[in-house]
């Protein structure tokens, strides 16, 4: 057990080194994301002009939600993991993992965790720089239970994010080019994950439907816990649903891996 | 043959090649057309959701906002259709020395680099964006005169020139930075501002995004022509911005080109 953990610890450390090489890339990306935050502040500021609340929340709560979403995008989102997995399959690099006593999913998950640790830390720099200008616009609820509930929600969200990206990457066993499908799904994930607008602003029937889908648990759910958009009962129910989706997605990933390997032909060294 | 006619012939040949290629990879074409359509749908959905809860954004009602969004998407899709692939490849070509191929072509290097590829999926979606503009104009009961329509088309053209220039300036940074990947991302961050009414910008945001960077006027000026007719300040302002930014892009590209040292640059 400890030896197995040691393998993935090494993979994590390698991932950490690899991500640190691209630290400037993450930093530039983080800096430009402040433009996005500025656009969000301007748009929603204009939408709130002359009214105290939109959808039951005030402007500060809404801006806090979007700032949290921005941080979570760097902390738990899958960036290009699907593309990396796809390339490893396409170029035959995956063959080396088939011959070694290593679980490819856990190997990739370790690298994902390292990459998010780096990007999650680096986004704090532009956010810290912007803090003097935006802190008046932020209003976190300050209830301790929210932080306690957010920790498992964030871990499960990261797992949902990674496993969906992993499944898309494995589609390369069937399709030569998956980039179009990935970007297509990004649009769906962005909307149903609450990155474009808080999902509670949708009509109630659509919001309820979105709550049953895995995308809801990618980003909106932990952000809604942290920013006070959902209460304790909905949080508890959401955690159970989120755990259910993680199990289902892990089963899907395993099924795709087993079936995909049957189609895979390893050629060369 | 005049230089303009010669360049047009080269462009027509590139366009024919791109269309043939799109027909060869039809599945790819359909997927990428859907990708763009979905992302346009995302923007539309955002507007619809906000207007479920409010009647106005900075004094613009839902239909006016759709007109602005449609105009912004139209300019962006035209950019994607005509120039995006060429400019995206520029960064890579400078790094690996493939820019040599363009230097050897019979014409302006900047023109050849920019028009090498045409993306039919972007052009298909520009028709969808135009459909959104027509729908919004119908909702508003607008009956634009031929003069207004011609002016709208001319200002969309100016907007395209500005978008192209900003993207060229971002990408040409590769001559100095070696990699322009993050900088290109900056271009997409700026596009977001073009979907908002100019009246939403106040204070420092107004100075930066309205006056220093032409990201707001680029879509607001054409949309206002359909809404309010000819407003000299907006029309001349956008035309002036277009000339200024294109001049800057030409200058920076050619300065950068002097630094290019083939595969070793």
B233-242 pLDDT, tens digit each: 989 999 999 9
Q: State how far the alpha carbon of B165 is from the alpha carbons of A200, A222, B249, in Å.
A: 39, 40, 5
Residue whose token pair is 């986004």: A123
* pLDDT over 90 (residue A73): yes
User: What mean pLDDT comes out for the span B174-191?
Assistant: 72
Chain B residue numbers with beta carbons less than 8 Å from the beta carbon of A190 are 42
- The partner residues of A58 in beta bridges, in order of sequence, read A53
ipTM above 0.90?
no
Chain A residue numbers with beta carbons less than 8 Å from the beta carbon of B185 are 28-29, 32
Q: Does A183 touch chain B (CB under 8 A)?
A: yes
* Percentage above 90 pLDDT, chain A: 66
Q: Does A207 touch chain B (CB under 8 A)?
A: no
Contacts for A82 with CB less than 8 Å, ≥ 6 apart: A165, A166, A168, A169, A178, A182
Number of domains in chain A: 1
Dihedral sign (CA A247, A253, A256, A259) = negative
Output the six-digit token pair for A7: 């393998």
Domain boundaries, position A218: 2-263
Confidence of residue A97 (pLDDT cuts 50, 70, 90): confident
Chain B residue numbers with beta carbons less than 8 Å from the beta carbon of A55 are 53
Question: If you ran DSSP here, which 8-state letter would residue B178 be given?
Answer: S
Q: What is the pLDDT of residue A19?
A: 83
Q: What is the pLDDT of residue B265?
A: 43
Q: Read off φ and ψ for residue A53, nearest 5 degrees.
A: -135, 150
Q: Are A170 and A260 in contact (CB under 8 A)?
A: yes
Confidence of residue A268 (pLDDT cuts 50, 70, 90): low
Helix extents (H) in chain B? 3-24, 26-53, 62-79, 85-96, 99-103, 109-115, 120-140, 146-172, 174-177, 181-191, 203-206, 217-228, 232-259
| Triad A246, A172, A92: Cα angle to 5° | 115
pLDDT in tens, B121-143: 888 899 999 999 999 999 999 99
User: What mean pLDDT comes out for the span B166-173?
Assistant: 88
Q: Are A236 and A68 in contact (CB under 8 A)?
A: no
Residue A268 lies in a domain: no
**Pick from B34, B53, B182: CB nearest A25:** B182
CA distance A190 to chain B (A): 8
How far apart CA A12 and CA A16 sit, in angstroms, is 6
* pLDDT over 80 (residue A24): no
Asked if B42's CB is within 8 angstroms of A190's CB, the reply is yes
Ranges A13-27, A239-253, B48-62, most confident? A239-253
Residue with the bigger pLDDT between A225 and B26: it is: A225
Q: What is the pLDDT of residue A128?
A: 92
Q: Are B144 and B152 in contact (CB under 8 A)?
A: yes
Residue A187 lies in a domain: yes
* pLDDT over 90 (residue B52): yes
Residue A209 lies in a domain: yes
Asked if B53's CB is within 8 angstroms of A39's CB, the reply is no
Output the six-digit token pair for A168: 């898309």
pLDDT in tens, A187-218: 999 999 999 999 999 999 999 999 999 999 99
Residue B224 lies in a domain: yes
Asked if B31's CB is within 8 angstroms of A180's CB, the reply is yes
Q: What is the pLDDT of residue A183?
A: 86
Interface subset of A 211-240, CB within 8 angstroms of B? none
Output the six-digit token pair for B212: 């220093």
Asked if A196's CB is within 8 angstroms of B45's CB, the reply is yes
Torsion (CA) B246, B247, B249, B253 in degrees, nearest 10: 140
Residue A269 lies in a domain: no
Residue with the bigger pLDDT between B93 and B65: it is: B65
* pLDDT over 70 (residue A44): yes
User: What mean pLDDT comes out for the span A72-83?
Assistant: 91
**Pick from A42, A180, A191: CB nearest B28:** A180
Q: What is the pLDDT of residue A170?
A: 95
Q: What is the pLDDT of residue B263?
A: 64
Chain A residue numbers with beta carbons less than 8 Å from the beta carbon of B54 are 47-48, 51, 54
pLDDT in tens, A11-20: 899 999 988 8
pLDDT in tens, B199-213: 999 899 999 988 888
Q: Is B180 helix (H, G, I), strand (E, B) or coil?
A: coil
Q: Does A206 touch chain B (CB under 8 A)?
A: no
How far apart CA A238 and CA A77 sit, in angstroms, is 19
Asked if A180's CB is within 8 angstroms of B32's CB, the reply is yes
Residue A227 lies in a domain: yes
Q: Are A257 and A89 in contact (CB under 8 A)?
A: no
Q: Give B46-54 contacts, CB < 8 A, sequence gap 24+.
A: B46/A196, B46/A197, B49/A197, B49/A201, B49/A202, B50/A43, B50/A47, B50/A54, B50/A197, B50/A201, B52/A201, B52/A203, B53/A47, B53/A54, B53/A55, B53/A201, B54/A47, B54/A48, B54/A51, B54/A54
Chain B residue numbers with beta carbons less than 8 Å from the beta carbon of A184 are 31, 34-35, 38
pLDDT in tens, A218-241: 999 999 999 999 999 999 999 999
Question: If you ran DSSP here, which 8-state letter would residue B229 be given?
Answer: -
A216: closest CA among A234, A183, A238? Answer: A238
Q: Are B95 and B178 in contact (CB under 8 A)?
A: yes
Residue with the bigger pLDDT between B131 and A180: it is: B131
Asked if A191's CB is within 8 angstroms of B185's CB, the reply is no
Residue A46 lies in a domain: yes
**Mean pLDDT over the full length of chain B:** 89
Q: What is the pLDDT of residue B179?
A: 61
Chain B residue at shortest CA distance from A35: B189
How far apart CA A86 and CA A82 sit, in angstroms, is 6
Q: What is the DSSP string of chain A?
A: -HHHHHHHHHHHHHHHHHHHHTHHHHHHHHHHHHHHHHHHHHHHHHHHTT-SEETTEEHHHHHHHHHHHHHHHHHH--SSHHHHHHHHHHTTTTHHHHTTT--HHHHHHHHHHHHHHHHHHHTHHHHHHHHHHHGGG------HHHHHHHHHHHHHHHHHHHHHHHHHHHGGGT-S--HHHHHHHHHHHHHHTTSSS-GGGS-HHHHHHHHTSGGGGTTHHHHHHHTTSS-HHHHHHHHHHHHHHHHHHHHHHHHHHHHHHHH------
How far apart CA B30 and CA A107 sit, in angstroms, is 34
Q: What is the pLDDT of residue A42?
A: 94
* Percentage above 70 pLDDT, chain B: 95
Chain B residues with CB-CB distance to A under 8 A? 28, 31-32, 34-35, 38-39, 41-42, 45-46, 49-50, 52-54, 56-58, 181-183, 185-186, 189-190, 192-193, 196-197, 199-201, 205
Q: What is the pLDDT of residue A64?
A: 96
**Mean pLDDT over the full length of chain A:** 91
User: What mean pLDDT comes out for the span B244-250?
Assistant: 96
Number of domains in chain B: 1
How far apart CA A130 and CA B37 sit, in angstroms, is 33
Domain boundaries, position B161: 3-259
Residue A33 lies in a domain: yes
Q: State how far the alpha carbon of A47 is from the alpha carbons of A237, B52, B71, B133, in Å.
A: 32, 11, 20, 22
Q: What is the pLDDT of residue B180?
A: 59
């Amino acid at each position: 057990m400890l030896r197995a953990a040691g393998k993935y610890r090494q993979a994590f450390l390698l991932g950490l080194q690899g991500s640190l090489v691209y630290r400037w890339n993450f930093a530039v990306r983080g800096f430009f994301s402040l433009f996005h935050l500025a656009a969000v502040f301007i748009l929603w500021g204009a939408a709130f002009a002359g009214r105290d609340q939109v959808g039951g929340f005030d402007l500060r709560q809404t801006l806090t939600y979007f700032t949290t979403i921005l941080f979570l995008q760097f902390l738990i989102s899958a960036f290009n993991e699907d593309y990396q997995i796809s390339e490893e399959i396409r170029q035959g690099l995956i063959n080396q993992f088939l011959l070694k006593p290593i679980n490819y999913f856990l190997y990739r998950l370790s690298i994902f965790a390292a990459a998010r640790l780096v990007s999650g830390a680096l986004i704090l720099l532009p956010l810290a720089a912007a803090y003097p200008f935006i802190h008046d616009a932020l209003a976190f609820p300050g209830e301790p239970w929210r932080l306690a509930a957010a920790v498992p929600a964030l871990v499960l969200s990261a797992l949902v994010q990674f496993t969906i990206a992993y499944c898309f990457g494995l589609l390369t066993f069937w399709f030569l080019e998956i980039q179009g499908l990935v970007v297509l799904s990004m649009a769906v994930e962005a909307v149903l994950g609450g990155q474009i607008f808080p999902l509670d602003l949708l009509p109630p029937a659509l919001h309820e439907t979105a709550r049953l889908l895995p995308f809801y648990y990618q980003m909106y759910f932990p952000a809604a816990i942290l920013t006070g958009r959902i209460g304790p009962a909905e949080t508890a129910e959401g955690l159970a649903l989120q755990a259910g989706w993680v199990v289902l997605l892990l089963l899907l990933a395993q099924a795709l891996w087993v079936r995909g390997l049957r189609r895979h032909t390893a050629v060369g060294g | 043959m005049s230089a303009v006619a010669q360049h047009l012939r080269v462009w027509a040949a590139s366009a024919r090649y791109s269309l043939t290629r799109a027909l060869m990879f039809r599945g790819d074409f359909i997927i990428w057309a859907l990708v763009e359509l979905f992302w346009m749908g995302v923007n539309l959905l955002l507007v619809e959701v906000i207007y479920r809860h409010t009647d106005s954004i900075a004094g613009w009602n839902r239909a006016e906002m759709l007109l602005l969004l449609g105009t912004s998407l139209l300019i962006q899709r035209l950019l994607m259709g005509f120039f995006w692939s060429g400019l995206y490849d520029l960064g890579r070509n400078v790094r690996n020395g493939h820019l040599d191929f363009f230097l050897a072509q019979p014409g302006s290097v900047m023109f050849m680099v920019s028009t090498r590829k045409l993306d039919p999926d972007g052009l298909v979606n520009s028709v969808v964006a135009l459909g959104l503009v027509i729908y919004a104009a119908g909702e508003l009961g607008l009956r634009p005169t031929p003069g207004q329509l011609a002016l709208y088309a001319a200002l969309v053209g100016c907007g395209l020139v500005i978008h192209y220039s900003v993207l060229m300036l971002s990408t040409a940074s590769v001559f100095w930075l070696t990699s322009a990947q993050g900088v290109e991302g900056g271009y997409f961050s700026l596009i977001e501002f073009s979907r908002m009414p100019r009246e939403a910008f106040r204070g420092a945001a107004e100075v930066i995004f309205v006056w220093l960077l032409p990201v707001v006027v680029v879509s607001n000026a054409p949309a206002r022509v359909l809404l309010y007719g000819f407003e000299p300040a907006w029309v001349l302002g956008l035309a002036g911005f277009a000339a200024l930014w294109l001049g800057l892009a030409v200058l920076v590209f050619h300065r950068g080109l002097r630094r290019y040292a083939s595969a070793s640059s």
